[in-house]
Amino acid sequence: MAHRARALLLTALALLTGGTLAAPPASAVIGGAPSTYGPWAVRMFVDGVPTCTGTAVAREWVLSASHCFFEQGQAVADKRISFRVGSLDATAGTLVHPVKGARRGSAEADMMLVKVPPMTVRTAALASEGVHTGQRVRVYGWGATCEGDENACQSRVLKEADLRVVGPDDPRCAGHAGPGTSDFCMEKVKGIPAGGDSGPGDERGPARPGEARRRLRRLRPGVDRRSGRDRAATEVAPRGHRLTPSGGVRESGAGARHAPGPASPAPATPP
């Protein structure tokens, strides 16, 4: 459907010591390999059809892209939505459903917090600081593994790609990010997230360090809204909801639901 077809991807960025990844080539959604770790990754379904990826940011909260919860400007009913958690295989794991009427959208970005019954998975520990130019990050998600007809190449297992943050004055960021904002741009390093107007897209889940022995410090989820070689994303922390270190959710502004913003490549700012 139109809103789920946009290339707006939920991504999470691992803030690593030194800002680098020392691992072998990372897996990727296009041109990569399946991920081996991602306990916070959540697969979203509408009417049993896989649509988006989310992040378990607290025991009772899933973060995903707001546009995943709308069809032609109308909110998708809670009873039509389900999530699978606790498995890298989108067909496995525990099935959970949203708590009725417990969605919290952002008035500034394409983001949605959805309350669910308590989950037993490891949740994403959120960063307190932003990303910086030159930092290498990793995005996770289910979805298309090819360009073109993405409906024909949906991955059943979680996959990943490595990207690098570029400066807000980079010409490729024009119209997507600027100095002093929470938006930032990324370029391809190894693999690239899929997603576009021709298919269901792939809302990204959380990230991890490049080496299994390196300690994951914090995750920075955001909404990635471009397909292809370059990416643009919006950080969560400056937005309408703050996620507290204890795993709670504290509102810091209007939490009204909203319709998704304009289609990529325009910025994903709701009307």
pLDDT in tens, 156-210: 888 888 888 888 788 877 776 666 666 777 787 876 666 432 223 334 443 333 3
Q: Cβ(142)–Cβ(28) under 8 Å?
A: no
Q: Is pTM beyond 0.75 here?
A: no
Work out the average pLDDT over 43-61.
90
pLDDT in tens, 6-44: 222 333 333 322 332 222 222 235 655 678 888 999 999
229, 236, 12, 212: which is closest to 110 by C-alpha? 236
All residues at 6 or more sequence positions from 6 whose CB lies less than 8 Å from its CB, including other chains: 67, 195, 197, 201, 225, 260, 263, 264
What distance in Å separates the CA atoms of residue 6 and residue 22, rounded to the nearest whole number? Answer: 32
CATH numbers and ranges of domains, the chain: 2-246 (2.40.10.10)
Could you count the other beta carbons within 10 Å of the beta carbon of residue 60?
20
State the distance between the two ends of the chain, measured CA to CA, in whole angstroms: 20
pLDDT band at 152 (very low <50, low <70, confident <90, very high): confident
pLDDT of residue 97: 97
Query: CA-based angle 259:231:14, to the nearest 5?
Result: 95
Residue type, 9: L
